[in-house]
A = this chain, B = another copy of it.
Amino acid sequence: MVTKGERTRAEIVDQGARMARVEGLNGVSIGQLAKELSMSKSGLFAHFGSKEALQLAILEHTAAQFVDEVVRPALSQPRGEPRLRAAFERWLAWGVAEEARGGCLFVAVAAELDDRPGPVRDRFVESQRDWLDTLAQIVAAGQRDGRFRTDVDPEQAAFELHGILLATHQAFRLFRDPAAHARARIAFDRLVTSLAHS
């Protein structure tokens, strides 16, 4: 059973994530959040104890959402190209969903945190690494099953796939390029071709 305290905490994190997507994690203001949720600042503060703890909770929450919406559905697909394509397409859908929520939190946060050492940066790097590892493992599993050629380094493929995703996000979000997703799919197909047996 979810207690009232847990429900309130979840509401704070959800609203905080919304704020972070636009203002960055550093722009999450406890005062502003309290106002938006009609709570007292001290009442809100009692749930986390520090702004850093709230920032960490926002990252955890979004990472868990990402696993639910992208990673887990992809891993339920058959190994090889279907699984890799599912991860890619789910990621595109995630970007669109995040756009509706105010832009992808992870992208908003990457440039903000790279110069700020500390637990929030560490947690963010960990979640980004998890995602790259997931992509590399999908490639490696496809290789073990004989669906992909084995002379491609899975981490290299993950790096390149990640590049496609970052370029897509920028084209979609910064350039408002209507061809962003079509370009992403062409680049993805080229990558898959390089993984396939010739």
Show the binding face of A for B, using Cβ within 8 Å. Answer: 22, 24, 102-103, 107-115, 125, 128-129, 153, 155-156, 159-160, 162-168, 170-171, 173-175, 183, 186-187, 190, 194
Contact = CB atoms under 8 A, between A and B. Distances in A.
Copies in the complex: 2
A171 to B, nearest CB: 7
B156 A166 contact: no
A162 B78 CA distance: 31
A61 B168 CA distance: 27
Contacts of A194: 190
A111 B108 contact: yes
B167 A162 contact: yes
Q: Which DSSP category, helix, strand, loop or mixed, fits chain A's interface?
A: helix
A110 B174 contact: yes
A110 B159 contact: no
Contacts of A156: 183, 186-187
Nearest to A109: B111
Contacts of A115: 22, 102-103
A165 B115 CA distance: 19
Contacts of A110: 111, 170, 174
A164 B160 contact: yes
